[in-house]
A and B are shown apart, each in its own frame.
Chain A
Amino acid sequence: MSIDLLIAGGTVVDPKSGRCGPADVLIRGGRVEAVDVGITAPGVRELDASGLVVAPGFIDLHVHLREPGEEWKETIASGARAAAAGGFCAVCCMANTHPPIDDAARVAFVRERARAADGARVFPVGAVSKGLAGEELAELGGMFAAGAVAASDDGRPVMNAELMRCALEYAKMLGRPIISHAEDLNLAAGGAMNLGEYSTRLGLRGMPAAAEEAMVARDIMLAAMTGGHVHIAHASTAGTVAMVRDAKRRGIRVTAEATPHHLTLTDRLVWETSYDTDTKMNPPLRTPADVAALREGLRDGTIDCIATDHAPHHRDDKEKEYAYAAFGISGLETAVPLVFTELVEPGEIDLLRAIAALTVGPAAVVGLELGGIVVGGVADITLIDPELELEVRPQDFVSLGKNTPFSGRRLRGWPVMTIVNGRVAFDRAAGSTGLDRAGGAGSGRLAGAAGR
């Protein structure tokens, strides 16, 4: 249920309109009615946003919601609520469920579940190949018509170059991107972490940077050949950044994302934590030079967006020998404060650019008309408190996945409210999810300001 609301006294940071300064935002009927200084709206609830950053709703292009098939790890509902709690108004969920999202009916199933969830918007990504088997194209036309925004076999690469070429050509016809999980399975086979000094120290099979880069190179060539749009998921190496930068210069339709963990951690952490399986992800944590290159890519626009690759797992999948543990981290609820604390506060990335990488950047990749605070546009808004400092407590995650290497870290810049389509989907002051409580007589930030 959408509410009418005046967000007053905050600092609007909207890369889409270029507005960056004090302004009020008036929301009515689920839409943005006005953005200006000193708006008065008699009878409308007022939210005191002084000291807060008022940003367009964040968009995460890369999450795994595990439903159908692994509902003990995450469900569409828990994932959508976790997204809202992390400041995201929209997420794109990958197709590698059991069974995979490889036809229109399954796309419709995800959309149906998401509608009932009352969290962030969920846009499915359909599979490139039937059954994610990497052999025959799935019905991309049917899936896009049913609401899929892109196609990807993510979790696995499309190893067959001819299939990837066909996918790019076909998706181009339909005006949609193919998201590439760039990993040469032969080069990476059996690897548990980045190949380098620390894999040598720990005696773990290493995944070389070249396993990613060889596939990025291939996919850029195929994008050049077909004119299709390839989006590189979870870019993790300096080589990938260099190739994407060069390809963009040459006018090839390539975009790329990087995760908060690849932007902030290195493979040394696996060694420092003595095989803590929460440091195991694919692609693996890389070297300081790779982190620096990703940050430079984010600054200069080579990296279009920050995406979490939210990969929730049950404790049982992580409490194992390192080589046998599952890949991935639960990323939705730490992404925003990580970006703020590790990138914005130290001056690595300016706030406007960071917010662009969470809004207009991802929206452009998959062609969503979201990601701005535009008069007449839908009211998807994320409020951040730059001063709020909290410890990462996985046990308090809304996500069912508690697997994070950031446990115990003190971070600043947490989302305090997430408004989706004019509805309060998350209100930190009201508890994990505001929902109806905030809309009614709750105890949150909104409730306290009500009636003024």
Chain B
Amino acid sequence: MSLAYKDLLGLEGMPAQDIQLVLDTTDSMREILGRKMKKVPTLRGRTVVTLFYEASTRTRTSFELAAKYLSADTVSITAATSSVQKGETLKDTARTLEVMGADAIIMRHPASGAPHFLARCVSGSVLNGGDGTHEHPSQGLLDMYTMRRHKGRLAGLKVGIVGDIYHSRVARSNMYGLVTMGAEVRVAGPATLLPPGLDRLGVRVCTRLEDAVAGVDVVMALRLQLERQQRGLFPTTREYAELFGINRQRMALAAPDALLMHPGPMNRGVEVTSDVADGPQSVIEEQVTNGVAVRMALLYLLLGGGDAE
């Protein structure tokens, strides 16, 4: 079992059976993570590089741990320590890593489409660890995995995504993946943070938060970046919290057993209040745990774990 392509660049256009395969494989990986001895030899002798042009704690650590648990050799490069600072182009960096024998490159980059460009430059696998305001496919998959684990299904599931849809790669990956899997997705946020054409992606656009969360099975709050406010896209974080922050009353509009999710890191009291973030409906911490398992599944399926001894 493996994915028939070399790269994971996004969930847009990824067939339902492939998403299914990743989620099913994640189940097995979770089982490995539950063992005392977590390491399996699947990717022994393979080299996985993490190339991060933006700060990251959980995605990077999670990918690195995933690679290590599968016995791959890992190298991690950050923009601050690499020759990027000396002005090297992404193409040259890519070629350098390629000739050094990287089997997979996991990249986070501030420019949308950078991994697509990288994938054209190298023969090894490219995994998108978040590109600009485009996609963050491994996050989308771990979110879907978490939903499926709790709700038993994705088809027909009602999901409300709230916040800065415009700039959120997490939102895009979730929208693409969930729509493919037959979920009913609604989005809400300040009008200035809702990009045009969202309806063409198969989601319902709500201008009132209440419409987006009423009766849903999952409420997903997105991280709000402060620089958006500085650019004048909304007046203040205080007003944002008042109009779009998830609190107890708003959570009560959702289904009684609805999950609360957040990709992290959270601005407590802005996107979500602490009482719900730490409350019984929150699966925010579990999202992180599942992140490692999903990334193990992705590395296994893309690097052709099947042909290891």
Contacts and interface: CB of A to CB of B under 8 A. Distances in A.
Partners in one complex: yes
B247 interface: no
B172 interface: yes
A188 B200 CA distance: 23
B122 to A, nearest CB: 14
Which one of B89, B112, B133 has the highest number of Cβ atoms from chain A below 10 Å of its Cβ? B112
Interface string A179-200: 0000000000000000111111
B304 interface: no
B134 A203 contact: yes
Contacts of B116: 274-275
A201 B89 CA distance: 26
A267 to B, nearest CB: 11
B269 interface: no
Which one of B91, B113, B114, B200 has the highest number of Cβ atoms from chain A below 10 Å of its Cβ? B113
A203 B117 contact: no
Contact of B196 (A196, A316, A323): A196
A322 B132 CA distance: 11
Nearest to B89: A320
Contacts of A320: 89-91, 117
A321 B196 contact: no
Given A201-B12, A203-B133, A321-B90, A275 B195 contact: no
A197 to B, nearest CB: 3
A72 interface: no
Contacts of B200: 197, 200
B2 to A, nearest CB: 22
Interface string A222-259: 00000000000000000000000000000000000000
B116 to A, nearest CB: 5
Contact of A274 (B90, B111, B113): B113
A124 interface: no
Contacts of B113: 202-204, 274-275, 321-323
A197 B133 CA distance: 14
Interface in B191-223: 195-198, 200-201
B172 A203 contact: yes
Contacts of B172: 201, 203
A60 to B, nearest CB: 31
A389 interface: no
A424 B22 CA distance: 64
Interface in A293-345: 316, 319-324
A200 B12 CA distance: 12
A151 to B, nearest CB: 34
A57 interface: no
A197 B196 contact: yes
A320 B132 CA distance: 14
Nearest to B111: A321
Given A202-B112, A202-B134, A322 B117 contact: yes
A319 B196 contact: no
Interface in A136-166: none
Nearest to A205: B133
Which one of B109, B134, B169 has the highest number of Cβ atoms from chain A below 10 Å of its Cβ? B134
A275 B117 contact: yes
Which one of A196, A200, A274, A323 has the highest number of Cβ atoms from chain B below 10 Å of its Cβ? A200
B51 to A, nearest CB: 13
A199 B111 CA distance: 13
B44 to A, nearest CB: 33
B143 interface: no
Contacts of B90: 320-321
B184 interface: no
A275 B200 CA distance: 19
Mostly helix, strand, loop or mixed at chain B's interface? mixed
B135 interface: yes
B164 interface: no
A9 interface: no
Given A201-B12, A321-B109, A195 B117 contact: no
Nearest to A275: B113
Contacts of B114: 321-322
Given A196-B196, A203-B131, A322 B112 contact: yes
B201 A201 contact: yes
Interface in B86-125: 89-91, 109, 111-114, 116-117
Contact of B197 (A200, A204, A316): A200
Nearest to A199: B195
Contacts of A197: 196-197, 200
Nearest to B119: A274
A203 B89 contact: no
A206 interface: yes
Given A195-B196, A197-B196, A202-B112, A321 B134 contact: no
Contacts of B111: 321-324
Contacts of A275: 112-113, 116-117
A188 to B, nearest CB: 14
B176 to A, nearest CB: 9
A224 to B, nearest CB: 32
Which one of A198, A200, A206, A321 has the highest number of Cβ atoms from chain B below 10 Å of its Cβ? A321
A319 B91 CA distance: 7
A321 B118 CA distance: 9
Contacts of B195: 195, 199-200, 206
Nearest to A189: B231
Nearest to B118: A321
B222 to A, nearest CB: 14
Given A319-B91, A320-B117, A321-B117, A203 B196 contact: no
Counting from the closest, the 10 A-B pairs by CB-CB distance are A197-B197, A203-B134, A275-B113, A321-B111, A203-B133, A203-B112, A200-B195, A322-B113, A321-B114, A323-B111
21 contacts: A196-B196, A198-B197, A199-B195, A200-B195, A200-B200, A203-B112, A203-B133, A203-B172, A204-B112, A204-B113, A204-B132, A205-B133, A206-B196, A275-B112, A319-B117, A320-B91, A320-B117, A321-B109, A322-B114, A322-B117, A324-B111
Given A199-B195, A200-B201, A322-B112, 7 more contacts: A203-B131, A203-B133, A203-B134, A206-B196, A275-B113, A320-B117, A322-B117
